[in-house]
Structures are given as structure tokens and as C-alpha cells.
């Protein structure tokens, strides 16, 4: 889930705007989560496809 699509349950505004303390806290938490936190879903899918292709290539080479 990307930050720009989340809606705060506390103030019903986009979390990316940071209108209330809950929004600001969640925005900070999401920006600090792991190395893949900033990637959008399309980039994660592309990364997964590349990883699967690499594993398939290695399996084909060893057989």
C-alpha cells in the first residue's frame, strides 16, 4: 500500500497530508519501514518477476 492512497480513520483525510497526529505518526512510520517501503506496487511486482526469472534461469542452467 502506498502512502498516497491511505485514508486516515481518525480524520478521514489522506494520510499523506498529515492533518492530525495519527496521520503524522503513521506517515513517519511508513517512511521508515524497511528498504522496500518506498516502492510502489508496480515496482514490487517487477522486482518479483525479475527474481522469478533469475531463479528459473539458474534452475535451467543446473539441469
In 1-63, DSSP assigns E strands to none
> 8-21, pLDDT tens digit by residue?
888 888 887 888 99
31: Cα within 13 Å, side-chain hemisphere: 10
Residue 34, CA distances (Å) to 30, 45, 49, 53 in order: 9, 17, 20, 24
User: What pTM did the predictor assign?
Assistant: 0.47
Q: What is the pLDDT along the chain (63 residues), one digit of tens a residue?
A: 555 678 888 888 888 788 899 888 887 887 776 776 667 888 889 999 999 999 999 999 986
Amino acid at each position: 500500500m502506498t502512502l498516497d492512497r491511505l485514508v486516515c480513520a481518525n480524520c478521514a483525510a489522506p494520510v499523506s497530508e498529515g492533518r492530525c497526529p495519527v496521520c503524522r505518526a503513521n506517515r513517519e512510520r511508513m517512511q521508515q519501514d524497511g528498504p522496500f517501503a518506498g516502492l510502489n506496487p508496480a515496482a514490487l511486482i517487477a522486482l518479483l518477476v525479475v527474481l522469478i526469472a533469475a531463479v528459473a534461469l539458474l534452475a535451467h542452467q543446473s539441469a
